[in-house]
């Protein structure tokens, strides 16, 4: 994202697009792209507008708010790199994909830390010169483990947390610190096969497709708003182990795409659903 982006969410009413784009025109802005959607159930209006050459950006927020209805949410997001911390356990594939994309400037982010509840992936982090921190979870309580996570994360001030196969359930108290800013990859096509061992569950059901789901983390396990899903075909010859192997490729693609959408401000929340302007 090379230009400022205007993000608007508000109750729908006539003339919104005309009013908003009129303000941008008066500011001398050239609109590069514009996407909008009205949710038919909530009658909520969503709009993402990328623009260039605007004057007086410091006053644009105030001017646009003046033409919006009550309870409107809006901001002008400048093209900045977000601070991202990745949390991992033992599996490397999702982390490796993010590290490669980050190294080749495919993600508008600064990868500030990798935090593992095991030390297995420290060598991988070292290869990409990203600081690795150990917050051991074995033989300690959840409260102790999460206190250590907070101790590590607090001075780093990440804007987003990415759970790249971090195989621990986070408490509501921890999630509350980063509301709508924790991204998880689930190795299943949710809502099917939530919880542990989804590939084994899929094998027992004889599924013909398997997939992966990237979603926001909420207090309810594997039930946060879905961002990206993808599936691949499988058949009767697959074992649980071959399903796991096939699923890894899908998982890393889904997680990286969801992260890009977040970093480029293409996601709006609408209750427990997402509105995505890709």
Q: 199-214 burial string, b = 16+ CB within 10 Å, else e? A: bebbbeeebeebbbbb
Which residue, 55, 77, 99, sits at the end of a domain? 77
Inter-residue contact 98 to 106 (CB < 8 Å): no
Residues forming the active site: 222
Q: Domain containing 43: what range?
A: 5-77
109 and 245 fall within a common domain: yes
Provide the pairing of β-strand 73-77 with 5-11: antiparallel
Q: What is the DSSP letter of 219?
A: S
pLDDT band at 155 (very low <50, low <70, confident <90, very high): very high
- Please say if the pLDDT value at position 62 is more than 80: yes
Could you read off the pLDDT of 99-132 as tens digits, one per residue? 999 999 999 999 999 999 999 999 999 999 999 9
Q: What percent of the chain has pLDDT over 90?
A: 76
- Please say if the pLDDT value at position 198 is more than 80: no
CATH of the domain at 151: 3.40.50.170
210: closest CA among 180, 187, 182, 228? 187
Which residue, 77, 108, 132, sits at the end of a domain? 77
101 and 35 fall within a common domain: no
CATH of the domain at 44: 3.30.70.260
91 and 73 fall within a common domain: no
Higher pLDDT, 199 or 109: 109
Q: Give pLDDT, residue 169.
A: 93
When mean pLDDT is compared across 1-5, 139-143, 193-197, the lowest value belongs to 193-197
Number of separate domains in the chain: 2
C-alpha separations of 108 from 1, 111, 144, 149 in Å: 7, 10, 33, 24
Higher pLDDT, 51 or 209: 51
Could you read off the pLDDT of 86-100 as tens digits, one per residue? 999 999 999 999 999
Could you read off the pLDDT of 23-53 as tens digits, one per residue? 999 999 999 999 999 999 999 999 999 999 8
Q: Distance of alpha carbon 130 from its chain centroid, rounded?
A: 20
């Amino acid at each position: 994202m090379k230009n400022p982006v205007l993000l608007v969410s508000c109750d729908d009413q006539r003339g919104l697009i005309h009013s908003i784009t009129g303000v941008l025109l008066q500011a001398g802005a050239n609109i590069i792209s514009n996407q909008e959607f009205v949710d038919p159930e909530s009658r909520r209006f969503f709009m993402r507008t990328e623009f260039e050459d605007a004057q007086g950006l410091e006053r644009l927020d105030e001017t646009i708010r003046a033409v919006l209805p009550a309870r409107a949410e809006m901001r002008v997001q400048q093209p900045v790199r977000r601070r991202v911390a990745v949390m991992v356990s033992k599996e490397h594939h999702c982390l490796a994909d993010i590290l490669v994309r980050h190294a080749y400037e495919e993600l508008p982010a600064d990868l500030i830390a990798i935090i593992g509840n095991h030390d297995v992936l420290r060598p991988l982090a070292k290869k990409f010169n990203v600081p690795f921190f150990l917050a051991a979870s074995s033989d300690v309580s959840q409260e102790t483990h999460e206190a250590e996570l907070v101790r590590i994360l607090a001075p780093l001030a990440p804007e987003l947390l990415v759970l790249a196969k971090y195989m621990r359930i986070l408490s509501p108290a921890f999630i509350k610190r980063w509301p709508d800013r924790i991204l998880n990859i689930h190795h299943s096509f949710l809502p099917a096969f939530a919880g542990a061992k989804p590939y084994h569950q899929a094998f027992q059901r004889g599924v013909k497709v398997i997939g992966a789901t990237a979603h926001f983390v909420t207090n309810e396990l594997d039930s946060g708003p879905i961002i990206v899903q993808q599936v691949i075909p499988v058949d009767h010859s697959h074992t649980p182990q071959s399903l796991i192997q096939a699923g890894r490729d899908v998982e890393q693609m889904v997680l990286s795409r969801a992260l890009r959408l977040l970093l480029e401000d293409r996601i709006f929340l609408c209750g427990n659903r997402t509105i995505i302007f890709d």
